[in-house]
Amino acid sequence: MHRAVLRPDAPGTLRARLARFMRTVLLTLVLATGCGGAPVALEQPAGWDDAIALPPVTDEDPDPNVVQVSLEARITSLEVKAGTRSDVWAYNGGLPGPLIRARVGQRLVVRFTNSLPEATTVHWHGVRVPNPMDGSELSQAPVPPGGAFEYRFELRDAGTFWYHSHVNSSAQVGHGLYGMLLVDEAKGPPLGDALPLVFSDMSLAADGSILPGDQDGALGSYFGREGNTLLLNGRVLPHLGARAGVPQRWHLVNASRSRFFLLRVPGATLVRLGGDGGRIAKPEPLDAIFLVPGERMEVQVTFAAASEKHVVQLDDANRFHLPAPQPPEPLFTLEVQAAKPGQPKPPALPAALRSIDALDAGGGLARSLVLGDTSVAGKPVLTINGQPSWELPPLHARLGTTETWTVENTTDFDHPVHLHGYFFQVLDRGGVAFAPEWKDTINLPAKQRLRFAVSFDERPGTWMFHCHILDHVELGMMAMLMVDP
Ligand code: C2O
Ligand code: CU
């Protein structure tokens, strides 16, 4: 009889161990062929993710309903580029910050301390938090150097989330202040071995020192600063192992301040399982992984055949719509080992992953926002409805209403837009309709129009809507949104 064992990937609580055991039993049943012979495990090669895996953070609370972590922002000297040192702005001394992993329904408590020379906050991107926990500079007073703040909220959605600084964010995120928050499903069939992957970049001088966050001034902000050093889980060209026919489940976030992420994985079958707000309704085959800054994805990756160690490259997403894209750049190395003789086929993906009802925006307010650019005193300024954030009056929405937003990009390059506090459902973009899916960040290509429905069903307060090219926030592409009780 064939036996299948997936690599344990959950924290060692009793419930998690039990869930893992049940999963193994289930897979064993699913894959049992009853034809005799030696048991063959459906597993990744030994040490497949040793060189790339993110270190987890310690849960300081024994209560199974609570995950409590300590998070300290401080400048830490790290060897980002081989043979050099960089003074990284890091959470808990790591780049990226520690992987915070929890299960849906648990409570997260983050005891944050700021040991930076500058004020900061921690924004929980995509998490449906109460407004005072949002970590934007509109929802809390920035934590001063030497100060502390406790973030606490319930994790109501499973999915791939992330946390990052929301003060002077282009520079602070560019210098390393980001990490992943992965919220696991309560239950579900095993769809592959989880691999959290944080994509980012950094601007480093030859000696490893981090280039100034405001390099090239307003023009640098206008174009959006892309670092010269590509990072995957904070590492330059890390190595990943895989086995043919054994699915991996990548949880991806694009944490770079401006760079888009376009990754084709030659030899792999890619199936998207989730987006910003957790699972999507049906598995969706992909040609490439495309993520704008702030956006997330859960994707099942299965390699068909063995391959020698080779470099996988990142393609240029051409967000400026130039006649020719930039050449690809090395991102990580990959080696795929051959399937074991008699290795079972992985279980088929379920036809449906989740049911998602379409939001009904009929009768609700229709709001229209126009993204533009102009110049003031010879300096570029980015606007919403003709005004930069510092002049734009706050948008007001009524609690309990569902609105339809139309956002139009009149500029010549793309803007990935992000809404704090609420998921939206894209109705259409560039005239193409979307299936209902929970999103909080999406690219709005040059000269296109996006429509989405959003329900301000709960949690009044002061939220934000902005372009997630963080340099563009600095130039004014941000609106304050007050959801009034
Ligand atoms: Cu991920 Cu207002 O940001
Ligand atoms: Cu933008």
Model confidence at 443: pLDDT above 80: yes
User: What pLDDT is stored for residue 56 in this prediction?
Assistant: 87
What is the C-alpha separation between 404 and 451, in angstroms, rounded? 7
Give me the pLDDT at residue 38, please. Answer: 64
C-alpha span between 422 and 35 (Å, rounded): 52
**443 C-beta neighbours (distance < 10 Å), count:** 21
Q: How far is the CA of 414 from the centre of ligand 2 (A)?
A: 6
> Is 163 a residue whose pLDDT tops 70?
yes
The confidence band for 232, taking pLDDT boundaries of 50, 70 and 90, is very high
Share of the chain above pLDDT 70, in %: 92
Per-residue H/E/C for 78-132: ECCCCCCCEEEEEECCECCCCEEEEECCCEEEEEEEECCCCCECEEEECCCCCHH
Q: Is the pLDDT of residue 6 over 50?
A: no
3-state SS of 277-314? CEEEEEEEEECCEEECCCCEEEEEEEECCCEEEEEEEE
Determine the Cα–Cα distance for residues 276 and 63; give it in Å rounded to an integer: 28
**More confident: 11 or 208:** 208
pLDDT of residue 40: 79
Q: Whose CA is nearest to atom 1 of ligand 1?
A: 125
In this prediction, residue 9 has a pLDDT band, given cuts at 50, 70 and 90, of very low
Contacts of 390 (CB under 8 A, 6+ apart): 476
Confidence at 313, pLDDT banded by 50, 70, 90: very high
| 254 CA from centroid of ligand 2 (Å) | 15
Q: How confident is the model at residue 23 (pLDDT cuts 50, 70, 90)?
A: very low
Instruction: Indicate whether residue 125 lines ligand 1 (CB < 6 A).
Output: yes
| CA separation for the pair 124, 157 (Å, rounded) | 13
For the cut 80, the answer to whether the pLDDT of residue 39 exceeds it is no
Distance CA 422, CA 309 (A): 42
Confidence band of 317 (pLDDT split at 50, 70, 90): very high
Residues 403, 232: Cα–Cα separation, whole Å: 37
* Over residues 383-406, mean pLDDT: 98
Tell me if 296 CB under 6 Å of ligand 1.
no
164 CB under 6 A from ligand 1? yes
**Whether the CB of 257 sits within 6 Å of ligand 1:** no
Residue showing tokens 């500079």: 137
For 62-73, what is the mean pLDDT? 98
**Helix (H, G, I), strand (E, B), or coil: what is residue 15?**
helix
Which atom of ligand 1 approaches the CA of 162 most closely? Answer: 1
Does residue 420 have its Cβ closer than 6 Å to ligand 1? yes
| pLDDT greater than 80 at residue 7 | no
For residues 91-129, b (16+ Cβ closer than 10 Å) or e, as one string? bbebbbbbbbbbbbebebbbebbbebebbbbbbbbbbbb
Closest ligand 1 atom number to CA of residue 293? 1
Alpha helices (runs of H) in 101-242, residue ranges in sequence order: 169-174, 217-223
pLDDT at residue 33 tops 60 = no
Residues in Cβ contact with 1 at an 8 Å cutoff, skipping those fewer than 6 apart = 32, 33, 34, 35, 36, 39
State the closest ligand 1 atom to the C-alpha of 126, by its place in the atom list counted from 1. Answer: 1
Mean predicted lDDT score pLDDT of the chain: 92
> Would the pLDDT of 20 be above 60?
no
Q: pLDDT per residue over 403-429, tens digit each?
A: 999 999 999 999 999 999 999 999 999
Which residues, in sequence order, are bridge partners of residue 120? 143
Task: Give yes or no for residue 18 having a pLDDT over 70.
Answer: no
Peptide bond into 96 cis (omega under 30): yes
Average pLDDT over residues 22-26: 44
Whether the pLDDT of residue 310 is over 90: the answer is: yes
Q: What six digits make up the tokens of 376?
A: 């003031």
Exposure string of 212-228, with b = 16+ CB inside 10 Å and e = fewer, is ebbeeebebbbbbbbbe
* Lowest mean per-residue pLDDT among 33-42, 175-184, 437-446: 33-42
Q: Which ligand is nearest to the CA of 162?
A: 1
Q: Give me ligand 2 centre to Cα 380, in Å.
A: 12
User: 28: which 2 tokens?
Assistant: 């064993």
Q: Is 81 in the pocket of ligand 1 (CB under 6 A)?
A: no
Q: Which ligand is nearest to the CA of 139?
A: 1
Whether the CB of 416 sits within 6 Å of ligand 1: no
Confidence of residue 37 (pLDDT cuts 50, 70, 90): low
Which stretches within 148-258 are classed as H helix? 169-174, 217-223
Q: Work out the pLDDT band at 10, boundaries 50, 70, 90.
A: very low
Q: Which ligand is nearest to the CA of 258?
A: 2
- Ligand closest to Cα of 134 equals 1
Ligand 1 close to Cβ of residue 397 (< 6 A): no
Q: Residue 417 C-alpha to ligand 1 middle, in angstroms? A: 9
Q: Among 2-6, 206-210, 330-334, 356-360, where is mean pLDDT lowest?
A: 2-6
State the pLDDT at residue 22.
46
Q: State whether the beta carbon of 128 lies less than 6 angstroms from ligand 1.
A: no
Distance from residue 61's CA to the centre of ligand 1 (Å)? 28
Choice among 27-36, 84-93, 132-141, 332-341 with the minimum mean pLDDT: 27-36
Answer yes or no: is the C-beta of 262 below 6 A from any ligand 1 atom.
no
pLDDT at 130 over 90: yes
What confidence score (pLDDT) does residue 239 get?
A: 98
- Dihedral angle, C-alpha 216, 313, 303, 22, nearest 10 °: -20
**If you measure from the C-alpha of residue 234 to the centroid of ligand 2, how many angstroms do you get, rounded to a whole number?**
24
- Asked if residue 276 has pLDDT above 60, the reply is yes
Tell me the helix, strand and coil percentages in the chain, rounded to 5.
10, 45, 50
| CA 37–ligand 1 middle distance (angstroms) | 54
Ligand 1 touching residue 123 (CB < 6 A): yes
Ligand that comes closest to the CA of residue 473 = 2
The finding on whether 174 has its CB within 6 A of some atom of ligand 1 is no
Name the DSSP class of 49: T
Q: What pLDDT band is residue 361 in, cutting at 50, 70 and 90?
A: confident
Nearest CA to ligand 1 atom 3: 125
Of 48-57, 186-195, 247-256, 418-427, minimum mean pLDDT range: 186-195
C-alpha to C-alpha distance for 102 and 97, rounded to whole angstroms: 15
Amino acid at 248: Q
The number of CA neighbours under 13 Å toward the Cβ of 465 is 27
